[in-house]
């Protein structure tokens, strides 16, 4: 049974689809296809049905040579059952997700993305939406670091075969 990851940000057009696509890149590069399944969602509903932000896509293409795929959707309480690990991009998203877990039974599944950073000291993935190119590029670098750390952790914990 594959291990299922859900990346969550506010609108599901910048940070979380980038994390999803970066993780999929690392999965392919490590020959782990079929062992890990990734998805992304937003805590807000503003961008449902939209593709990833073009500026975020440009940064992913420039830095990693990948095109961001996916369509924005909103986080749903059913996601607690569906996914093994839910990764929030910042503390606000983390709190918004936990608010939907009224019983507290899924709290152990919700983590901050930056908990997996190996190089960067950031505690949150900043939202680049209102910033310039540097912000989008920085988010790609930060997520590459965090996704790499997450993959290392999944291997070390035995959540996936190596």
Query: Which residues are the active-site residues?
Result: 9, 15, 127
Beta strand pairing call for 3-9 and 110-112: unpaired
Are 74 and 40 within 8 A, CB to CB? no
Q: In what order do the strands lie in the sheet containing 3-9?
A: 36-42, 3-9, 85-88, 110-112
Q: CA 17, CA 98: separation in Å to the nearest integer?
A: 20
Distances (CA, A) of 51 to 48, 71, 73, 76: 9, 5, 10, 19
| DSSP state, residue 68 | -
């Amino acid at each position: 049974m594959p291990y299922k990851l859900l990346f969550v940000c506010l609108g599901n057009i910048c940070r979380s689809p980038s994390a999803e696509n970066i993780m999929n890149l690392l999965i392919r590069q490590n020959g782990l296809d079929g062992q890990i399944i990734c998805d992304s969602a937003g805590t807000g509903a503003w961008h449902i049905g939209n593709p990833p932000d073009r500026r975020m896509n440009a940064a992913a293409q420039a830095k990693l040579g990948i095109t961001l795929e996916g369509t924005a959707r909103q986080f749903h309480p059913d996601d607690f059952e569906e996914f093994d690990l839910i990764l929030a991009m910042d503390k606000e998203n983390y709190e918004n997700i936990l608010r939907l877990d009224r019983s507290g039974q899924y709290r152990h599944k919700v983590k901050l993305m930056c908990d997996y950073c190996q190089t960067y000291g950031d505690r949150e993935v900043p939202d680049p939406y209102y910033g310039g190119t540097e912000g989008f590029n920085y988010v790609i670098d930060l997520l590459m670091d965090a996704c790499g750390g997450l993959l290392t952790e999944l291997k070390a914990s035995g959540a996936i075969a190596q």
